[in-house]
Amino acid sequence: MSSKTVLIVDDEASIREMIAVALEMADYRVLEADNAQTGHAMALDQKPDLILLDWMMPGTSGIELARRLKREEATAEMPIILLTAKGEEDNKVQGLEAGADDYITKPFSPRELVARLKAVLRRATPPGIEEAVEVDGLRLDPSSHRVTSNGGALEIGPTEYRLLQFFMTHQERAYTRSQLLDQVWGGNVYVEERTVDVHIRRLRKSLGEAHQHLVQTVRGTGYRFSIRE
């Protein structure tokens, strides 16, 4: 049994049912909410492992709920996948900037949904190094899943955490966006390279003045993590 819990927040009962059937067949426990208020209450109360959130809902939209969940300490770490009928680039970037970890454009197949959900959950609970890493006052501790800057705790999302963990354990080397996608997102995910830029921007913002310079843009290649200017 996977026994991971997924909360579906969507005002359309038929879509919730289609998703619930696919997830239950893949051994997930499913919770359902038909509006943002109920979804927010269930996220706080039930602490799901992942939230599937419809972008367009009457009343409070999915994107507003995503922002709210990412602002609140109790739910900030919960991975969110936005379900959207909007395929335009700007909407995708807007969704990622609101704190979503991925988005799926409707219509989608249940198989694609389950594959992407697994990928996001894998990123949120990364395997790998258990040793704490420290660079220049920036410390990442995998056992407590905490990042501190000169002793002070940093708020950092699950994907940014994975990205930082990869960078801190692979310093001074330039990586292309597609290499970062393979290493951090996993090989079989449907994520565009532009997504990497959004998460890099978010990571730098989380690191703040003291450490954002460590994540460097390498023109024509991608990014590297370096203490050298």
Which domains occur in the chain, in start order?
Answer: 5-124 (3.40.50.2300), 133-225 (1.10.10.10)
| Per-residue pLDDT in tens (0 to 9) along the chain, 229 residues | 346 899 999 999 999 999 999 999 888 999 999 999 999 999 988 889 999 999 888 888 898 999 999 888 888 888 999 998 866 667 777 777 788 888 888 888 888 889 888 888 877 655 555 678 899 999 998 877 889 999 899 999 888 998 999 999 889 989 999 888 877 876 556 678 888 999 999 999 999 999 999 999 999 999 999 998 7
Residue 185 has a pLDDT of: 78
The Cα 178–Cα 183 span in angstroms is 9
Element at 185 (helix H, strand E): none
Residue 97 has a pLDDT of: 79
Provide the angle, in degrees to the nearest 10, between the axes of the packed helices 158-169 and 110-124. 60
Residues 7/48, Cβ–Cβ less than 8 Å: yes
Cis peptide before 107 (omega within 30 of 0): yes
Give the angle 189-191-192 at the CA atoms, nearest 5°: 145
Residue 42 has a pLDDT of: 94
Residue 130 has a pLDDT of: 65
Give the end-to-end CA distance of the chain in Å, rounded to a whole number: 48
Residue 2 has a pLDDT of: 46
